[in-house]
Amino acid sequence: MDSLRPELFDFKGVSMSRYFTDNWENIQNFQARPDDILIATYPKAGTTWVSYILDLLYFGQISPERQTSIPIYQRVPFLELNISFEETGVNLADRLPTSPRLIKTHFPIQFVPKSFWEQNCRMVYVARNAKDNVVSYFHFDRMNKVQPEPGDWNSYLHRFMEGKVVFGSWHDHVNGWWKKKQSYSKLHYMFYEDMIEDTGREIDKLCSFLGLSPSVEEKKRITDGVQFDNMKKNDMANYSTLTIMDFKVSPFMRKGKVGDWKNHFTAAQNEEFDEDYEKKMKDSTLQFRTEI
Ligand SMILES: Nc1ncnc2c1ncn2[C@@H]1O[C@H](COP(=O)(O)OS(=O)(=O)O)[C@@H](OP(=O)(O)O)[C@H]1O
C-alpha cells in the first residue's frame, strides 16, 4: 500500500497530488445543477461533520435506510477525487439520485468548476483554526496511504506553514473563500470552533441559510446524532469502511477538539508559527479561536 503515496507538486500555483488533478478536464467541465450544495473546506476542517449534518437535514427522515447502508463519502462525493480503484468523484456526483446533491470539495476558490457559479449554487464553507487544522492534517497524512509521506511533526509543521501540503496554503484557502463571501451571497461561512461551542446554534444558522425548518424533535435527533462520540462509532460516518486508511496508525475521528495543538506544538514552534501567521494574515479580517 505504501507505493500509493503520491508526490506533491506545484499545480497552477497550488501544491497538489495527482489524485486530485488527474481528472482535471472532467472536474472542470462538471455540470452543476441549481440546487446542488457544495461543501467546501481546507482538509480536516470539519467536512465530514457538516456533510453529515446536511445529509441528515435533507434525507434523515425521507430515507432513514440511507443512514445504515451508505457511507458518508458515497452520499457526499468528493468531486476532485480520482484514485484508480475507486469510482471518480465526478462519476459518483453525476450518478447521485438525490436532490439536492451534496458535493464535497477541498479546492481553493480559484479551482471551483465554473458551472457552480453559473448555476448560482449554494455553498457551505467550514474553516478551522490553523493550529488544530495542521495537527489533524498531520495525523491524517500518517494514516492515509494516498497522501504524501508526512515525515516528522516538525518538518510537517514547516511545510504546512509554506503551503507545501496537498491543497496548498491554509492561509490562501481560508482567505480566498472569505473574500468570495463578500460578493457571493450564496456562500455560508462557518467555523469549526463555533460548531464545537454550540452545535445546535450553528445548525440553526445553517437551516436559516438553506431555508429549512426542522421540527424541534428532528433538530434534537440531528444534534445528538452528529456529536463526536456518536459519529465516531457510526460506521457510515467514521470512514472505517475505507481500506486506504490505517486506523491502527490514527483513527479518522481522532479527537474532535479545539486546542489539541497544545499537545503537539513546542513553545518554540508556537512562537515561530505565530510570527509567520501574523505576516500571512495581516490583511485579513478573519478571526480564529485556538481555544474556547
Ligand atoms: N462530530 C464531530 N465533532 C467534532 N469533530 C469532528 C466531528 N466529526 C469529525 N470531526 C473532526 O474533524 C476532523 C476531520 O476533518 P474532515 O472531516 O474535514 O476531514 S477530511 O478533510 O474530509 O478528510 C477530525 O479532527 P481531529 O480529531 O482533530 O483530527 C475529526 O475528528
Q: Which position has the grid cell 491524517?
A: 140
Ligand 1: residue whose CA is nearest its atom 23: 44
Query: Helices 153-161 & 130-143, crossing angle to 10 degrees?
Result: 120
Is residue 14 included in any domain, yes or no? yes
| Domain membership flag for residue 45 | yes
Let me know if residue 248 belongs to a domain.
yes
Range of the domain at 107: 2-281
Say if 21 falls within a structural domain: yes
Domain membership flag for residue 289: no
Taking only the tens place, the pLDDT of each residue in 120-137 is 999 999 999 999 999 999
Whether pTM > 0.90 for this model: the answer is: yes
Q: Is 171 a catalytic residue?
A: no
**286 falls within a domain:** no
Domain-embedded: residue 290: no
In a domain, 58, yes or no: yes
Q: Per the structure, how many domains does the chain have?
A: 1
Q: Which atom of ligand 1 is nearest to the CA of 260?
A: 28
ipTM exceeds 0.95, yes or no: yes
pLDDT tens-digit readout, 191-214: 999 999 999 999 999 999 999 999
The per-residue pLDDT string of the chain (292 residues; one tens digit each, 9 = 90 and over) reads 447 899 999 999 999 999 999 999 999 999 999 999 999 999 999 999 999 999 999 999 988 888 899 999 999 999 999 998 789 999 999 999 999 999 999 999 999 999 999 999 999 999 999 999 999 999 999 999 999 999 999 999 999 999 999 999 999 999 999 999 999 999 999 999 999 999 999 999 999 999 999 999 999 999 999 999 999 999 999 999 888 999 999 999 999 999 999 999 999 999 999 999 999 999 999 999 999 9
Q: For 23, phi and psi rounded to 5 degrees?
A: -100, 30
Cα separations (Å) of 120 from 52, 115, 178, 188? 23, 8, 17, 13
Rounded Cα–Cα distance for residues 260 and 256 (Å): 9
For residue 271, how far is its CA from the centre of ligand 1 (angstroms)? 26
Q: What is the CATH number of the domain that holds 149?
A: 3.40.50.300
